[in-house]
Every structure is written in structure tokens, then in C-alpha cells.
Amino acid sequence: MKEKIIRKPQLGTWLEGLGKEYEIWAPVKKNGLVLFHPIESAKEIHFDFFNTKKTAKDLFFPQSEVLFSFRGGEIEKEADMVLEKPRIILAIR
């Protein structure tokens, strides 16, 4: 794999291009807390942090999901959740 360095002034343009095909999640500071959220612009990213308030595990494992339901005495399996766009997660460690 070839290593490539992206300088801060180029980050916005690079992310804008990726955002057309991917949902980009990054650490964002909201109400004094740093959490992972989807972003629209590189200006939203907060790189100066040690740990986020919540782990990024929630991005991989939903807090809850419906596996099956009962209808008329029958068990119905629910469809698997499919993301609209693949995700890119920045600044995760």
C-alpha cells in the first residue's frame, strides 16, 4: 500500500470528493462534548481531543435492533439493516 500525506488545506477538498460516495463520520464538538457524528465539511472536525464521550463502538454495533417480530402467531424475521452509503470514520483510535 502506498503511503500518502494529506495536508490540512487539502483535507476539505479530499473529504468533499469522498462525501459523494461515502458517509463520513468524524469527532465533532457539540455542547462541550466530543462525539462521532456524520459531517458535511472538514471544518466540523475536532482533532484536539484525547477520548470521545462515547466510544465509536456505536457506529459498528447499534444500541438496539429488531431481530424478529410476531404477527398473527407467526414469527417474522426482520430484514437486515443496510447502510445507504458505506461509511468512512476519521480520527478513530
CA distance 91 to 45: 9
Q: Please state, as a whole number, how many other Cβ atoms lie within 10 Å of the Cβ of residue 51.
A: 9
Greater pLDDT, 11 or 77: 11
Beta bridge partners of 87: 23
> CA 56, 46, 37, 88 torsion: positive or negative?
negative
- Summarize pLDDT for 6-63 with one digit per residue, the tens: 888 888 899 989 999 999 999 999 998 999 999 998 899 998 888 888 888 878 877 7
Specify the DSSP class assigned to residue 84.
S
**35 and 28 Cβ atoms separated by less than 8 Å:** yes
